[in-house]
Every structure is written in C-alpha cells, then in structure tokens.
Structure 1
Amino acid sequence: MLMADGAGRTVRIAMNGVTGRMGHRQHLVRSILAIRDDGGVRLDDGGTLWPEPVLVGRSPDRLRALAERYGLPEWSCDLDGVLADPSVEVYFDAQATAAREAALRRALQAGKHVYCEKPVASGYAAALALARLADRAGVRHGVVQDKLFLPGIRKLARLLASGFFGRVLSVRGEFGYWVFEGDARPAQRPSWNYRAHEGGGITADMFPHWEYVLRELFGPVRSVQARLATHVPRRWDENGTAYAATADDAAYAVFELEGGVVAQFNSSWAVRVHREDLLEIQVDGTEGSAVAGLWHCRVQHRATTPKDVWDPDVRHRRDHRAHWQEVPDDEDHPNAFRAQWELFLRHVAQGGPWRHDLLTGARGVLLAELGRRSSVEGRRVAVPEPAP
C-alpha cells in the first residue's frame, strides 16, 4: 500500500546498481531525482506520487558518497534487509546482468513490484520463469524499454500511424561506436561487457532492444539469421590488467517480421561512426522513407524521390540529403528513461494496462539466445512466441 504524507503519496524504491554508469546517470539522476525536482509524478486523481529512493549496492563507500552527494538519507548493502522492509514497495535493478536474476527472484518472493534493466536474465528459461513468478505473486512488473521513448523513434511511430510509408518494405538499423580497448585510452564500457561468463556481449545487450522496437513499430520477429564476432580479442580492465575478450563485440543480423517485412541490424562496439547518430534506423516503404536517430527523423516522400540511374563511369554530383525533409519537434521530449519511469510509477499506483512487463523482457532474451544459436549453426532460426 502506498504511504500517505502531507504532499501526496510516497513510494519507496530500492534502487540496486545505481553506482554504475547507467544506474547512476539515467535512472537515479535523470529519472528519479529529476522527477523529485519537478514535484513528483502527477496521478489521474489529481494527487502526486513522490518517489523515495533507497540506494542498494555492494560498496558502502560508493553508496555513502552517492547518498551524500544528492542528499539522500537511506542506503544499504543488505539487500535482504531492504526487501524485508514493508515500507519498500518497488525494487529496481540496474546491476550487471549476471547478478540480476537472483536479485529479482528475491524481490518477487518478498512481494515487491519490480522494474529492471535488460536483459532480465542470462537465459530465456530463467527470464520466462521470472515473468511467471511475478504473475503468480500478483505484483506489477516492468522492463526498461527506453528506445521507444526516444524522440526519433516516437516520430517514426507517428509516421507509421499516419500511413506515411504505405506498405513497409524493409528496416535497416545501424548501431554502435568504437569502444577503446582500455590500454592507451580508458574504455567507455565496463570490462564485464566483454566476458561471456559474466553476461557480456553486444547480442545480449542489444537484441532485446531490437526485439521490442521491431515488435512495437513493425511486428513480431519470426526468424533470425545472425553472425556474431569478437573483433577485438584482447582488452584491459578497470585496473589496467589485460584480459581475453570472450563475448561478442559485434552482431550482424537479418530479422524476418510477421507480415513479411525484412529488418537488418548491425550492432558493433568495433565501428567508427560515420553517420549522424550512434543509432540510425531507416524505414523504406512504397510511398515514402524515413531515417531516424535518437532525436532527428527525416523523410522523403515518393513524389519527391529523385530518379537516379547508376553509372559508375560518371561522377555522381547529386546532394541526396538535400531531398529529405526534417520531421518537426512539435511536442516536448523528456528523457526517455524518465518518461518510462513515470509510466511505471503510475502503473504501480493506479494499475491499468501495461505492456512493458517481464514477459516482454523474456522475449528479448529469447531473441538474443536464438541469435547466438543462428551464428553457431550457420542458419536461419525460427522465433516462437513465448507462452505466458
């Protein structure tokens, strides 16, 4: 039950993993603390929901420093103790993947609502078991699906809803950047990302994103053919010690969607960016095309498409980008992580329909698992729909 106070209602959230980059910046600072700075989450009944974070982790020094930095009164290294507190209603997990499944299970067994980063578990069977456990426990549960709330993706969704593309033919996604090895220049990502036994790998990290983006915008994935690679086999960890990279740092995939749309996605931590954004998705249809990044989205309609002819003996001088039109920003776009946090907290307080649940998280883990199988076996693999 939500706790009442003079300013509205308070929901206490155990936030595990907030000493990491993503948990700290996106979830604690740019989501929960930003919501508090703006007075809380507005509810349909006119009331306000006030999030109260309880920081959880393994390092008392880092937790204490974080709590003092932001003026937060509560932190703990005792996860079980926090979960035993009846005033804590929500458990959030942004730990390394290998630690997430066990912690989520303990939170669900304690009767907490849960919200977590993806992947929700290291394997599909475990992810599906978590979704079923949450349903049996009767709690509300959610998985971070931040890409759906990015301005560029929201503009794509708006174009699709308007029928701009006509019949969608194909989708092409390019994601990635160069992650430094850690010797001459520090790496931008933690070393566990490149160790398979710790849940690392770009397939585990990004295929869950591609699963929900494709499903929500274009339709469920029905088959995958993928080729995984470890392009940089030697890296240096946070202490400057060399180690063998055992997880994939690039994945090249073709997804066939229900209805016949073909989607190609290249994901790589070993690519140098020659595009406008770290993620770009191109959609081509019979009536028009669009290219979307994190913020921008540009379109070209059938009527304004140049009539090109390929002639390798003549230098092509047309400025193709000049024939594309920017989709305007006609609405405010909050931080994508914050936007979904607000939706989830309203769901906790009010109930109602909610589709970003642990079952959707299990679908993402399944696609990553089948992508790995496709790469090992060198063949296209069918993607079944998980049973609830």
Structure 2
Amino acid sequence: MTDAFRTRAIRAGLNTNTDWGAVIPPLSLSSAYRRADPGQPGTFDYARTSNPNRCLLADALADLENATGAVVTCSGMAAIDLLLHDRPHGARILCSHDAYGGTRRLLDARAAGGRFSVHYIDTSDLDAVARALETPASLLLLETPSNPRLRISDIKAVAALCKTAGTELAVDNTVLSPVLQQPLALGADYSVQSITKLLNGHSDMVGGVVCTADAQALERLTWWANCAGTGAAAFDSYMALRGLRTLPLRAKAQCESAGEIATRLAADPRIGTVDYPGLTSHPGHEIACDQQSGFGQLISFDIADPDIDPLQVVQSFKIFTLAQSLGGVESLANIPASMTHASMTPQARAEAGIGDTLIRLSIGLEASEDLIADLDQALEAARLSAPVS
C-alpha cells in the first residue's frame, strides 16, 4: 500500500464538476438526459445505460485496479453474473470449491437450468487446477483469500495454467480490494468484487464491479450490463465513491487489528484452527506475502472447547454484531454454516471445510483491545452457560 495509492483513492472524482465548480461531485438522480438532436445522444442518455455518478466510480475503480475500464453493477452477485452472460451454451465453468455461498448458489442455479456445467476445485492446489484444465473450460472463477476459510490461491501460477489452456481467469477480490491485491497485474483477465464490502466500507449501499485490461471484453461487459439492466444506481455509486476515498486508511487499520486479534486467538486454548493468512502457521502465508500488500480484515476460527457452543458465543457479543457482511467500519460476526453459506449442501460445506463450529469475524475500526476483550467475555459467557454433564 503506497502513498501514491492513497492519493489516487482520495482524489477520485474530485474537482470534476464543470457546472458549479463543486469539489465533491454532486449526486445526479435524473433517469433521462436531454438531447439536442434526436439521432445523437449526449454524454448521458438514459440512466440504465450510464449516469454521471456510476461513471465516476467506474473510472476510479479502473484506475485503482490498473484496468482499461470497469463496469459497476447493482450488487456483487450481479457482477459475477455479468461474467457469465456471453459464455457459450454448455460451456464448462470452474470455481473455487470454498467460494462464497452466494456464488455457488448462482452457479448451481444456472447449471441446473442447462446454461453451462460447473465444476468446483481446490484452487489452492495447483495440481488440481492443472487436472481440471485438461478438459476445455471457458472460465475459472478464483476466490482468494476464500470466504470463509481464507485459503490462498497462487494467482500468478493459476493465470499461467489458464493461459496455456485457453481459459479466462476471473479473481474475486472482495476480501482484499485493490488496495491489498492487484489480480490483473498478476495475470488475471478480470477482477470482480462486491463494492458493498471493503471498497465502500460503511455498510450503507450495495454494488459490484468487474474490472478488465481487455478493451474488447470491457465493451462486451458494458453492452450486457445495459441490456440486462444490472448497472448500479446513481445514489449507490455516489455513496461508494465517498467510501472509496478512505479505503487505504481503513484497510491499513483493519489489517493491523486483525493481525493482533488472530495472534491472540491462535494462543487461546479454547480455540482450534485459526484461519488468517498473516499467521506464519497459515499454509498460504508465503504466497500471501508475495501477492498481497496486507492480510485483510477477515478471521475465521473453530471452537475447540466442547463446552462452548458457537451460537452462544455469537449471541454473547457486546461489540461484534451478528450479521451477514464484511469489510465495514463496524465489526461483525457470523456462523457461515447457518448464515452466509447455508445455501450450500452439507456435503459441499464438508468438502470446503465449513463446519458447524466455525465462526467468521470481520474486523472493523474499533480499538483492537476492546474487540479482544469482547471475544474473551463472549467465549467465557458461552462456556459458563453450557449445561453441566
């Protein structure tokens, strides 16, 4: 994370208003834009196609991702779906086996309708990736770090395998954002993410984005977003651009707190496995050090003490809020098996290592010592509430 990146994030969209000289670009809620000539639209014509706030946000995100351009959508899932629109009928799609539950739900639903076939693989295992690519595939959707087990896949190595196989590579960069990871620079064809999360950072809008360095791919994605009507609304784009300006500062502080909390959890005898790439014990630590400029704000851990019920833990928090999201300024907790990944079959959750005792934390901007104290009291409260055997 460089000072130049901080400057680019903060300056995004500033001083672009030529009508009134507004430093912060104003919100434009108009759905239609006046034409001087019936046969010739102006810069903006109809808000489904584009609007000033969405364009400013797209330009800012493309700049931060070092992309040719970006298409901003109404949600993160819409961004992933946008990548699927022009895949040939019957195409073969590959995806990380431990991807976000909503991603698997979308792919499974499209596959069940006969649109394409989908195959899940452990993308942290390069041999498994190579075997999967022996059969032609249209797209590999790679999630790294994965949600919720935070497995690390080697983007550069997977990109090389995909290039040899003639398969496009899309990296879900939601957990880290471009401030901590640059998928396109590592060889990916697309960087896709939920703007709702770390990019916006304030849990007050919903959106997604697909970035690419390929001008022809950008043109196709833009056409489909207009055709399907999946572009982001002006207000959501306005809010996201506001949040984006503090992204480097937020991410730095959240990474620091997450590292402290993960270290404390790893030393707690009540806790089993702690998933955090910043720990040297994490199997993907070295790759994360190579391809990331920070380890992120997500932590997952299993409960080892049989007398502690994970449900009691998350219901005993006083600072952490039990909710389904991540990346905001507020700290959140959830049980993936019954919340974010509940749509997966029990077998799929077992294959991805998402057990019933797994708790996922999204670390916000509260003081790390307060969050550690909250974790400690919640674990103790859950232990004391356990029935006497």
TM-score normalized with structure 1 length: 0.33
TM-score, normalised via structure 2 length: 0.33
